[in-house]
Structure 1
Amino acid sequence: MRLLIADDDDYTREGLSESFDWDKYGIDEIYLAADGAEALRIATAKKPEIVLTDIRMPKLNGIEFAKRLAEKSPDSQLLFMSGYMDVEYLKSAIKLSAVEYIEKPIKLSEVERAIDKSIRSLANKQQQTAVVKQKNELVRQKLAGMLRDEHVDKAETVRLCRESYFPADQRYWGIMIWNRLEAGDGYADLQLMLQYWQDNGMQAIGDQLDRRHCFLVLASDRHDARKLSSLCDLFLKRYEAYSISIGTAANHLHELPNAYKTAMRAMEQAFYSADRRVFHYIEADRMPEDHSHEKVLPEFYRVRMQSPEQMLDFIRSICAQFRMKQSPAKERVVTIFETIIQGTTGHDQKQLAALDSEYGIPDVEHYLRECRTLDGMEQLMLAVCSVWIEQTQQVAQYSRLVQEVLKYIAANYRNVDLDLRMIAEHMHLSTAHLGLLFKQETGTTIKQYISDYRMDVAKKLVAGEHLKMNTIAELCGYASASYFAKVFKASTDLSPIEYRRKS
């Protein structure tokens, strides 16, 4: 807290500064002024919370200084000192809302009482200001949300503008600001954004749409696209995590829903333009609807059946096609890739576990939906298809009959009762005949293959650190967690917990 003592008497000025333990009041900065003009310069620069000033001073008397102080530092608490207790000075002090009037010769006890009173007054004012500020912020956030809705009551929006001191008769911009980082929480700090625009001369209100996205309404006396663009660029230089999309300008409050819609459309460009960070909505640049993506899935099924080794080139090719045409919309791309994931890894826990252990992707479909750019989705799909190709190549060396057995085991290994008999019944073969054919081609028995398959999946799940051991036991087809732990240690010489720690 800052204190300014203004008095032309050196003894009084210096004496007051040294007569108190100011730290106990929370005052850690003390400024001294020998006349009213000097006091005004200091107050303008330092904005002291408490000003203890004499009334009769050279250059600028205390009353004139106090009037000017109200303009330069309106939150300062005034304490007047004077040996001249005439009525006019008292009236002036009252009009200027002085906290206290201390008569000279000064008694330290009276100064201490006046300082106590000032600090209490400051605390009450700060508390009231905080409550008003919090209420105002809530009203402004509600207003920003309403201004996105074209069906909202216009009279109500005007009322909230007045209540929150947001202009209802200026020109506006609607912009989206979002956290573009793929990694981490990616939180978008609405208060940081609002403070930035207000510090740069634009009144702003905002709505936190979710953790990553905020919608802001900026008010200006005119539409200055160059100034807006310059401020956007400066914001992005300061804050590397963010991107901005700018909708159409609005001349009235009721045009802001369209500004919001166009800002959202401009934001869609970010999916295809990972390197850009500011996006403008321009109607003429919107490309006609393209339907070529409808051929992607039929082509995927053809490649999967006829040329699985070409799957990586297929993924790169369709991503290049999407990128060139800037189409389709992100939601449609997600749907296409979800279908490809189901057609490759599907619910094959062995492949999913490999994605987790080799690429750090514990939940592939969730990861897909969280990707914010086509580049990120392409990398994910290449990982998915690499794991699928590896397994496909391992299976391709066997006869069609053995391949069917391997597929059946991959689909049913979680069933505790899975064994040679169940597989033979499914294949309509005798257990002896099926067991012999399988052993001849693979060099191992079906029972051993099931056991190895389960253990292979279990190792990847244990190393992934995402699941509890009893859950892993259930996912891998073991009758109980204790039996799983016993089999796991027999296979690895480590308990599941030790294996996880070592991994």
Structure 2
Amino acid sequence: MKLLIADDEKLTREGIRDRLDLQGLGISGVFLADDGVHGLETALKESPDIVLTDIRMPRMNGVQMAEQILSANPGTVIIFMSAYSDKEYLKAAIKLKAVSYVEKPLDMEELKQALGEAVETRRTMSTHLAASRSHEKEQLGHLTLLLTEPEPESLDEAGELIGSLGLPINSSTCFSALLLDSQTPVTLLPENRMDEVRDSFSSMLADRGIGQMYFIRADRYIIIFLYSDARQEEKLIHDCAAFLSKQLNEISRFFVSVGPVVSGMERAHISYMEAKEHLKESFFHEYGFILDKDTANAPFHPPADVLLEFSMALAEKQEDQALKLAGQLYQSFVPNDVLGPSQVKDIYYKYLSKLDEHGMNNYISLWQKEGLNTESIWEGVMGCATLKELHDLLCAKTRQFFEQLEDSQGENPVVFQIKEFIQQNYAAPSLSVPDVSEHVHLSPSYVCTVFKNETGQTLNQYLTDYRIKMSKQFLSDPRYKIADISSKVGYSDGNYYSKAFKKIVGLSPSEYREKML
């Protein structure tokens, strides 16, 4: 909480600041002013919660200063310091409804009590103001939702809300809908940054004579209605959307679509429905792109079918050619009414599956198959919200394929198959050397010899190390009980698991978890 002390006597204002335990009262910021003019300037700049001011000051007296401060910040609590002869000034102060005062010469205990009461008053006012704003925000959100619906009963309820909120909306008011699609749940976005965006956007709209209301749907979509008396140019609405999009995409990934300007609240839902239709084209564009009526569908052309050539480039180890073909595929997609996101994802799934097939043929694993967060081709594809992200995924996996291909030229295929089998079956307590040898179609003795020569570990040592490595990942997640983790990593005996863990790690599972968490 902030306090402004205004008094033309230096000893008085500094004495109050230095002698009173203002921190103990909950006051963390203190500003000093030597007259009413400086006091007003400071108040307008710093927005103090409490103003303690002398009544008689040069250039501008305390009552005049308080009047202007309250005009700018009605929630400010004013305390006057007055002598007995200042009764006429106090009458003016009472008209301001600022009747709290302390008499001079000052009694520090009396002043401390007055400031304590002012702090509580300000807190109570802040609580009431926050509750009032929250209620108004809820009503505006409900009004926004009602305007998306064409039913007469919704419009009747919207009219009542407009009246109770005192909004300058009538039958000729013009509306335009903005629809924002956040790729991160709205509740997870940084609140302070989102408040900054809202305030700057509101300020920009106010300068143009435009009001706004909004509603958050499904923790993903933000529906905004812009409204004004005059019919705004489509370009101005587009510029407003671009301003908002630029700010939002510095925080997270957003798409913004814009509906047309319509006249009358009974037509507001038309603008919203068109914005909703435009948003369907977001998959084919990058984040921050403004989707509106000018985002026209192009004539349909079948996408480039270069799967065979892509496969040949992989087989012939031609990285540049494979990436070039991936680029041709990407460039061949354009927004149209025939191919939607699901069909495009199906096509990319085929290319990534072909890439994975070449990877396995070369004993390369492109997808994480171990740990708590395993990956799959389909999960990778479905995690892409845009065509650009799909293209980036295919290119990244293609580069990974060639990097691992170069790094694994001397790798023994048998060892690769053994490790893959263990990674997929380590949780089975019965997993044994004969199981591994049967999988690779080789004798147990040959499997053990090859594995030891290639890795420096016996098969059983590798299996134990792998199980302990996996259990460490489970232990780092408090949702898993230690008693359950042993069975998850292939140990039917919890005591044996604890001994094996401590032998390798040097700590018991519970000690390791304590250090991790």
TM-score, L = length of structure 2: 0.63
CA deviations on 1:105-132 (whole Å, 9 max, x unpaired) are: 4444433332222122111111111222
Given the alignment of the two structures, is residue 278 of structure 1 paired with residue 281 of structure 2, yes or no?
Answer: no
Paired position in structure 1 for 2:84: 83
Q: Highest CA radius of gyration, 1 or 2?
A: 1
Within 1, Cα distance between the matches of 2:379 and 2:291?
29
Paired position in structure 2 for 1:218: 226
Given the alignment of the two structures, is residue 369 of structure 1 paired with residue 370 of structure 2, yes or no?
Answer: no
Letter in 1 for 2:201: W
Pairwise CA distance, 1:225: 4.8
Q: Is the 8 A contact 1:147 1:254 kept in 2?
A: yes
Paired position in structure 1 for 2:204: 200
Q: Is the 8 A contact 1:470 1:481 kept in 2?
A: no
CA deviations on 1:335-361 (whole Å, 9 max, x unpaired) are: 444577789979x99999651169x98
User: Residue 245 of structure 1: SS of its match in structure 2?
Assistant: strand
Paired position in structure 1 for 2:154: 153
Q: Number of paired residues? A: 456
CA deviations on 1:280-324 (whole Å, 9 max, x unpaired) are: 312572335x3736x97xx97x99999995999899758745643
Pairwise CA distance, 1:239: 4.9
- Gap change, CA 1:417 and 1:174, over 3 Å in 2: same
Given the alignment of the two structures, is residue 2 of structure 1 paired with residue 12 of structure 2, yes or no?
Answer: no
Within 2, Cα distance between the matches of 1:95 and 1:166?
29
Q: Is the 8 A contact 1:461 1:467 kept in 2?
A: no
User: Residue 23 of structure 1: SS of its match in structure 2?
Assistant: coil
Paired position in structure 2 for 1:43: 43
Within 2, Cα distance between the matches of 1:214 and 1:332?
27
Paired position in structure 1 for 2:29: 28
Within 2, Cα distance between the matches of 1:475 and 1:250?
59
Paired position in structure 2 for 1:110: 110
Within 1, Cα distance between the matches of 2:13 and 2:392?
72
Pairwise CA distance, 1:56: 4.1
CA deviations on 1:424-459 (whole Å, 9 max, x unpaired) are: xxxxxxxxxxx9xx99xx8x469999xx9x999999
Q: Is the 8 A contact 1:77 1:118 kept in 2?
A: yes
Q: Is the 8 A contact 2:176 2:261 kept in 1?
A: yes
Given the alignment of the two structures, is residue 130 of structure 1 paired with residue 143 of structure 2, yes or no?
Answer: no
Within 1, Cα distance between the matches of 2:45 and 2:84?
29
Letter in 2 for 1:367: G
Given the alignment of the two structures, is residue 260 of structure 1 paired with residue 272 of structure 2, yes or no?
Answer: yes
Within 1, Cα distance between the matches of 2:37 and 2:45?
13
Within 2, Cα distance between the matches of 1:211 and 1:448?
58
Q: Is the 8 A contact 2:242 2:290 kept in 1?
A: no
1:438-449 equivalent positions in 2, closer than 5 A: 444=442
TM-score, L = length of structure 1: 0.64
User: Residue 355 of structure 1: SS of its match in structure 2?
Assistant: coil
- Gap change, CA 1:322 and 1:10, over 3 Å in 2: closer
Q: Is the 8 A contact 2:178 2:272 kept in 1?
A: yes
Paired position in structure 1 for 2:416: none
CA deviations on 1:235-288 (whole Å, 9 max, x unpaired) are: 5268534444231233343444343344344444443333x6332312572335
Pick one of 171, 177, 184 that aligns with 1:174. Answer: 177
- Gap change, CA 1:163 and 1:171, over 3 Å in 2: same
1:328-477 equivalent positions in 2, closer than 5 A: 328-337=339-348, 354-356=366-368, 362-364=374-376, 365-381=378-394, 444=442
Pairwise CA distance, 1:416: 11
Paired position in structure 2 for 1:101: 101
User: Residue 22 of structure 1: SS of its match in structure 2?
Assistant: coil
User: Residue 222 of structure 2: SS of its match in structure 1?
Assistant: strand
Identity of aligned residues (%): 16
Q: Is the 8 A contact 1:194 1:205 kept in 2?
A: no
Q: Is the 8 A contact 1:272 1:323 kept in 2?
A: no
Within 2, Cα distance between the matches of 1:73 and 1:191?
20
**RMSD of Structure 2 on Structure 1 (CA):** 6.0
